[in-house]
Each structure stands twice: as C-alpha cells, then as structure tokens.
Structure 1
Amino acid sequence: MIPTSKPNPCNQSTQSCRSPTAAQLAHLFSSFALISIGAGGVWSCSIAFGADQLESRDNSKHQVVLETFFDHVGWRVGFRMPATLIFLSVIMFFIASPLYLKKKPKKSLFTGFAQVIVVAYRNRNLSFPFPNSSERYHHGKDSEIVVPRDKLRFSNKACITRNSEQDIAPDGSTVNLWRLCTIEQVEELKALIKVLPLLSTGIMLSINVNQTRFILIQASSLDRQISQNFEILPASFATFGHIVMVIWVILYDRMILPLASKIKGKPVQLGVKLRMGIGLLLSCMAVVVSAIVEMIRRGNTIQEGNSSDDSAMSCMPATWLVPQYCLLGLAEAFTAIGQTEFFYTELPKSMSSIAAAMFGLGMAVSNSLSSIVISCLKTSEVSL
C-alpha cells in the first residue's frame, strides 16, 4: 500500500534484487511489534474480562483458511481484511462499553512481587512465629487467609510484622509496602512460582506445532491436486488440524462428558494435568508420523530421479500430511485448553489476566526455540 516501504522489484533480465534499506526494515519490524503488543493486550485480558461479565453485579464473590487470499489475491488484500475486521471490532467494543461490568485495578501485581522479594530478604533474620499463629502475620482487612501456607516458606517472612504501631495504619492497611507485605501478596507470588514448571508443557507442544513450517515445505513438493479443477494450497492443510480441534472440543464437552457422567452416575471430567499429558503424547505421535511421511516422500523422490532437487515435485499425494495435522489439532485441543484452564484455576482471581497470558508466553518462547531448531537444521544441511 505504501510503495516506499518495500524495495524496488527485482530486475528480471539481470536476476538482481536490491536489499531493503534500514528504514524499510524498521517499518516492517515496528509493524510486527505493534501487532504483538496489541495481540498480547487483547489475548491476556479477553478471557478474564469475559469471565467478569458472567459474574453477578450484586455478589462480587460469585464465581489459516485466509491463506488462500494471500496466495491468490495478494498480501495487500490479505492484511487489509483482518485490519478492517479489527477496526470494526474496536468500534463495536466501544459502542457496547456502557454495558460492561468494569473493575478498577487496585494494585500492580509485578510491583507486589518485587515488594515480597525485597521485604523477605530484609526480614531473613527474623524467626518464624509459632505454627498456626496469626498474631504476627499481616493480612488484608477482608482476607480469608490469616496464616500463610508452609510451601515456599522463606517468602512468609515478608508478611511478618516487626512493629505493628509503625507498620500498620489505624484502618489496618500497610503504611509502607516495602517494609511489610500482606499474606495475599505472598500467596500470589507463591501461586505464580508453583505453576511456572508446567509452563514447559505448552512450550514443548508449541515447538511441535510450529514445525508446520517444515510441513509446508513438504506440501509444496507433493501432489495437491484433488480434482481436475481443484488444488489444495500448502498452507491450507493446517485447516484440517483446526477442524479436528473444533470437532473434538464439541464432542468432548457436549457428548463424551455427559454420556460418561450418565453411565457412572456422577460428574466425570478429565483432569487438566491428564489432558496436558495426553496432548503432549499426541504431539510426539504427530512428529513421528511426520518423520515417517518424510522418509516415504524422500524415497519416492529418489525413485523418480529427483534426489538432487529439493524443490522437485513428487507424484505422492499430499493427503499423506492430513494425519499429522489431525494429531496436532487433537494435541492442541487437549493441551492448550487444559493448560489455560489450569492456570486460570490455580492462580488467584486477582491474577486472571496473567493466567490467560501464560499460554501465550509459552507460545512466544516456543516460536523462538522453533526458529532456532529450523535454523540449526538448515545449517547442518549446508555443512553436509
């Protein structure tokens, strides 16, 4: 849309192309950065914001199909369509804004985490009160927790009161949070530390899912012709995974669970950790299937006499790629939904946005690791 934002077209006669300038690269990368920031803000808040709307106002304690457009119509139209839809969604969001239940932020969670660490270090020489004694532990006015839990006990020293007259105001609030924290702050930090190890499950799944860039290369070299007038685009094969994921979620929630509950005579549900484990197993199976398909593809290519040409077309049907996409779709249905539910239930209500953003954080890390894996593979191919 902006001609100066991209290099001039390549010279077909000399087969030479100009590299993009620093300004053009800055324009491109800043666009990616804005998209990432915007998506991160929406993703991390949308689940928590939607859950807030379902709460009672009176009781606060109630709890890649579009790839076709890029290939056939052009990248300009492909980006213009989602930009238009996002703009319309923003307008609709603000129109309905008066109807939303809005909760004002009370504190900064990250500042609270820093305060707990600093105060716990300052109080490292203090002795712990007697077990189950709440006299020296400081808690909020309406707090249901009066004694911190024993797990990660070293952080409990952040809420030990040294001098109640100096550190606690007449209304029960803390005079200086950098000298004395509440039990709630300590438990929030503990909850975050507790769920961090399980963040790796989403990272491993996303690394496998992000290897679909390699599957695109596979699909580009296979026979994608379904009929005389219809050919599946390489990127459209990911649609099979999305379809399987949606079908499984509907079947699991509306048919399998109700039927199992009816048979057993009590509510039945797979635990979130079990679902994450099943998802990881399915993602590993998808990688194994992908490796088998690649072995068969390379064998066919060698038989056809094109072993020296990596981009040569093979007569092998591209439908061989469908099973691994279906397995990846099932894996994502189990792990992604299970992990999001796990974070949302394990973290306190005040950390709902962080809970919703944890899976996205894992995806961001996995994208970087996936790029490193692909770069290493390319480097090894060149060296060989």
Structure 2
Amino acid sequence: MEWGAERVHLSKRGGLQTVPFIIFSEGCERIVNTAVSANIIIYLTKEYHMGAAASAVIVFAYQAATNFLPIFGAILSDALWGRFLTISLTLFACTIGSVLLWLTTMVQTLVAEDCGNEDQNSQCCHSPTTLQLFVLLTSLVFLSIGASGVRPCSLPFGVDQFAHWSGTRKDRALKVLFSWYYVSMGGSAIISITLIVYLQDKLGWKIGFAISVAIMALATFLNIVTSPLYIKVKPQKSTWLSLVQVIFVAIRNRHIQFPEVGSGLQYHNPGGLEVLVPSRKMRFLNRACVLRVHTDRSNTEVLNDNSWNVCTVDQVEDLKRTLSVIPMWSAMITSLLIQQASFRVLQADTMDRRVGTTKFQMPAGSIAIFEVITFTLWSGCFDRFMLLVVQKITGREQVLSHKQKMGIGVLFSIASALAASAVEAFRRKQAIRQGLENNIYGVVNMSALWLAPQCVFAGLTSAFGSIGQMEFYYAELPKTMSSLAMALLPLAIGVANIAGTMIVKLIKVITARGGRIGWLPDNLNQGHYDYYYFLLALLGMAGFIYFVACCYWYEEPAPIQLVEPQEDETDGI
C-alpha cells in the first residue's frame, strides 16, 4: 500500500508540466548574464571612465568566472545540496547581482562621476571610488555565482522529473526536454544580443539594468512557487568521496599482485547476483578492488572489505569512466578556441553595415546574430524534422553518434576559420584599393554580410560540437554525476578563452619584432588578420587529427561479467 501511495504521489509531480519552468529559469539567467557580458565593457568605459585595457581585464575575469565556476556548482549539487537547492540559491545570487548592478545607476554614492563634455582622460574626470568599484565587482561576482549553479544543474534537474517514467514514453519526453533546452540556449542569446542590449543603449542603463532585475526576480519567484511540482532527487554524498577512495586505495595497494585470470571472487562485489571483474583499461586502478585476506586472532582468514581498504568494482569503473572522457574533452578545446578568438566585430565595424537599401545600420556587435540564429534553428529543427527524414532514408534509429557530432563540429570550426581568412584577405585588399590603409576609421566599400558565412559555420560548430559534447558527457559519465557532465562544456570554453588570449599575445610579440607592424595591429588594414585566421585553421586541423586519435583509442570501460551465481534450488524446499 505504501508503494502504491508513493507512485500516486510521484504521478502528480514532475513530468512535462515542469519543463517550461525549468527552461524559463535557465533562460532568464542566460539572458541577464549574456547581456552583461556583451555590453558591460561599454558601461565601464563610458560610465566608469575606465581605460580599454582595465575594462577588458574586468570583463575577462567575469567571463572566466562564469565559465569556470559551474564545475564547482556541479560538485556541490551532486554531492551536497541537490539540484533544486543549488538552482534556487544561485538564482537568488543572480538576482542579488542584478540588483547591485542596477544600484550603481540609482544610488548617488554608487554612481560614477559624470564627466559631461570633458575629456574622460582629463584631470576633471575622476576614476570611480573604492566603494563604487567594490559594489560593481561584487555584482559581477554574484552574477557569476548565478551561472555556476543554474547552467550545470538545469538539464539534469529536468531529467529528474521523468525518473518515474519508463520505456518509449520517457525517451520521447527526454527528446522534447533536450530539444527545448538547446532552443532556449540560442533564444536567450538572441534576446540578449538584440533586445536587452538595444534597450540599454537607447533607454539608458537605469532602465536596461532594471529590466534585468525584473527578469531575475520573476525567475526566482516562479522557481519558489513551482517548488511543489518538482521531483527532488537527493544528492549522492558518497559519489565524489568514492572516486577519491579509489585513487587512495589504488595507491595504497600498488604493491599487491593481481588475482589470477578468472578469479572473480577475489574482487569486491557487495550484494547482487553478479560477480564482476574490472575492465583491463587503466589496469593500475584495479588494485583498489582486490580483496585482501588477513588472519584474525583466532587464525581465521577474514576478507578486509573496509571502504578505505578496498573499493567495489563499480566504484573503480565509475572513476575509469570519468577519466576516460578527459582526452575527448581536451580534443574539443581547439574548435571552441576558434569560436572565441574571432575579431569579426572589429571587422564589421570597418565595413558597410547597411541592411539592403534601407537606412538601418546594423550594430557591429550584432554580427553574432547569424551564429545564434543558425544554432537555434538547427538545434530546434534537427531532431524534430531533419533527423526523421534521414532516419527514413537510412533506416537506422541512430543516424549520428555523439562522437560523430563532435567531429562534424570540429570540421565546421575549421571551415569557419578558413572562411574568415578568405573574407579578411579580400576586405584588406579592398581597403588598400580605396586608400584606407592608414585610416583606422575608414569604411570599406564592402557589405558586412560577407561575414555571415563564417558566423553560420560557427553556429553549426555549436549545433554539432557543443551539443554533441553535452550528450556525450551525459551518456558516458555516471548518472550521479550528471551535473558535472553539463559543467564540462563551460569549463572547456573557459580554457579556450585563456588559450586564445595567450595565442593572440604570442602572435603580437613574435610578428611585431624588429619594429614591424605585425599581424594584429590596432589598424586592421595594416595588419594580416587573414594570416591569423589561417593559423587558427591549421590549429583546427591538428586538433581534428588529435580528436580522431582520441576517438580511435577511446573505449568505454565496462566491468566484465564473470559468473552469475544461481539460486540454490533447495532454498524453496
């Protein structure tokens, strides 16, 4: 009776009714943080009178925190707080960050001095006070904390809502969840880049930041109100501890001999009917699950199965699965680097940005809209329409594996770099023909829409590569670590940002030796940004070779079933 009552209770919670609220919460967080990331440098330079270099450092630190913190949010979620509590706390933190940022435009002591018509570099224009800078940076810290929990936990939390479903019904529901999640990623970016940034520029920072406060307050309120609808899976505190135990015990047992082949009973298999031996991959970790026999005071042989002396076969295999994805994760950093290390906004600023024959001039920063729209349309339509057509043609249920999607994403990133190199070479020649080589503000008689192809390729890179990564990590890692699976992509983006910055600085130093202009001067017309993009394409090709090698050597660790003890037929007599 208790089990039946529990099933009735679960049937009223979770399911498709919760999906819109979960997607909405993450979408709101992405809208706010993406808008801040896109436009905060303008706020720092124009309102806080900071230099371009100092502003860039703050923006870089904020973006790095937004990408690196989700790994810690995932660990806290999986091991301590649970996904709902993690999402709730970080949504509240993001709301606090939005309020603090808005207060920097409203409270007189927090508002930076208005220079008026004075030159921002003059002595009459003072730098922001310590208090003003402290509140501003604190707001960005809280916004980053908001991303740290919402982004890695939202999709796994959505999956939790179908824990009581099974079969094809559950499979269809999960496809709907994943599809809408991908669409929300692109849709929130579109809203941020177009609507929110436009309102900040046209209506002012007070109204623009107030809109962000309203968005986050609504998301936080809805998350609390809809709390009774959710299925809240308890965190597995032992998950992360068990991984540490495997490493500790394997090192401790490094001198013991492996059991003979077929001696499955000498590996730790608590409970269950199956007797398993660990896989041979990363064999040094198998020592962690070898049972050791010692003699007690009565000279009786006893198996020492203390958790810090021996681990189970499943624990060892979970650690192997976690370690196995690291090479695949590293192989995708090159494609993300190509996406992050683009100067297309600066290129668009030197080109004709009129749309058709109208007088409307597209902002240079909005050139990324082609990438976002491509990602949104492809991710939203692929599973619903194109995949069904391809399935009918091929007769196969799974058209592309996760690794194939990732590989296609890498190839599209190379195509994006090659397209960028070709367009930039043509743009530079056109600028020189017009006599603009020494004119940094000159507009080349060439439409900015020539940059659209590389943006489309970048969008397809995300649609295949990024989505393929998330699905791969989610499928390969233990289900108790699904939040970590969602945090690995932002972590890779953060690493790609750092690597891209280092590459740019290195190229500047090397190519500008001996008083030469170099490849990447402030004046695009004097440099060779086309060479830079071609170098990125070469790095992408090397990365693709490395990716293929990782795919070739990748083998999903799986314990070997040695024997299945059968129940004693005399038990029932």
User: Would the TM-score normalized by the shorter structure come out above 0.5?
Assistant: yes
User: Which runs of no fewer than 5 residues in structure 2 stay unpaired?
Assistant: 1-102, 172-192, 297-303, 518-573
User: Which runs of no fewer than 5 residues in structure 1 stay unpaired?
Assistant: 167-173
CA distance in 2, matches of 1:276, 1:230: 38
Scaled by the length of structure 1, the TM-score of the pair is 0.87
Q: Is 1:42 paired with 2:150?
A: yes
Preserved CA contact (<8 Å) 1:244 1:326 = yes
Residue of structure 2 in register with 1:101 after alignment: 231
Residue of structure 2 in register with 1:222 after alignment: 351
C-alpha change, 1:132 and 1:246, in structure 2 (3 Å) is: farther
CA distance in 2, matches of 1:165, 1:112: 27
Structure 2 residue corresponding to 1:307, chosen from 433, 437, 448: 437
Residue of structure 2 in register with 1:8 after alignment: 113
The structure whose residues are more often helix, as a share, is: 2
Counterpart AA for 1:8: E
Counterpart AA for 1:92: L
3-state DSSP of counterpart to 1:135: helix
Residue of structure 2 in register with 1:170 after alignment: none
Structure 1 residue corresponding to 2:394, chosen from 252, 259, 264: 264
Mapping for residues 7-156 of structure 1, pairs under 5 Å? 7-10=112-115, 12-13=117-118, 15-16=121-122, 17-20=125-128, 23-56=131-164, 64-65=193-194, 66-141=196-271, 146-156=276-286
For the aligned residue pairs, the C-alpha RMSD in angstroms reads 2.8
Counterpart AA for 1:220: D
Preserved CA contact (<8 Å) 1:68 1:236 = no
Alpha-carbon displacement from aligned partner over 1:279-325 (angstroms, at most 9, x marks no partner)? 11111111111122212222222222221232322222111111111
Alpha-carbon displacement from aligned partner over 1:236-294 (angstroms, at most 9, x marks no partner)? 22111111122222342123222222233342411111111111111111111112221
3-state DSSP of counterpart to 1:146: strand
C-alpha change, 1:36 and 1:183, in structure 2 (3 Å) is: farther
Superposed displacement of residue 193, structure 1: 0.8
Superposed displacement of residue 183, structure 1: 2.1
Preserved CA contact (<8 Å) 1:145 1:183 = no
C-alpha change, 1:248 and 1:145, in structure 2 (3 Å) is: farther
Mapping for residues 268-307 of structure 1, pairs under 5 Å? 268-307=398-437
CA distance in 2, matches of 1:236, 1:262: 38
CA distance in 2, matches of 1:266, 1:336: 23
Superposed displacement of residue 340, structure 1: 0.7
CA distance in 1, matches of 2:411, 2:205: 36
Superposed displacement of residue 128, structure 1: 1.1
3-state DSSP of counterpart to 2:366: helix
Preserved CA contact (<8 Å) 1:201 1:276 = no
CA distance in 2, matches of 1:143, 1:354: 31
Alpha-carbon displacement from aligned partner over 1:102-146 (angstroms, at most 9, x marks no partner)? 111132433322221111111111111222433222234359673
Superposed displacement of residue 58, structure 1: 9.1
Counterpart AA for 2:141: A
Counterpart AA for 2:333: I
Counterpart AA for 1:203: I
C-alpha change, 1:135 and 1:286, in structure 2 (3 Å) is: same
CA distance in 2, matches of 1:112, 1:366: 30
Superposed displacement of residue 216, structure 1: 0.8
Counterpart AA for 2:154: S
Superposed displacement of residue 153, structure 1: 0.9
Residue of structure 2 in register with 1:247 after alignment: 377
Preserved CA contact (<8 Å) 2:265 2:275 = no
Of residues 24-33 and 252-261 in structure 1, the stretch that sits farther from structure 2 once superposed is: 24-33
3-state DSSP of counterpart to 1:316: strand
Preserved CA contact (<8 Å) 1:140 1:184 = no
Residue of structure 2 in register with 1:171 after alignment: none
Counterpart AA for 1:307: E
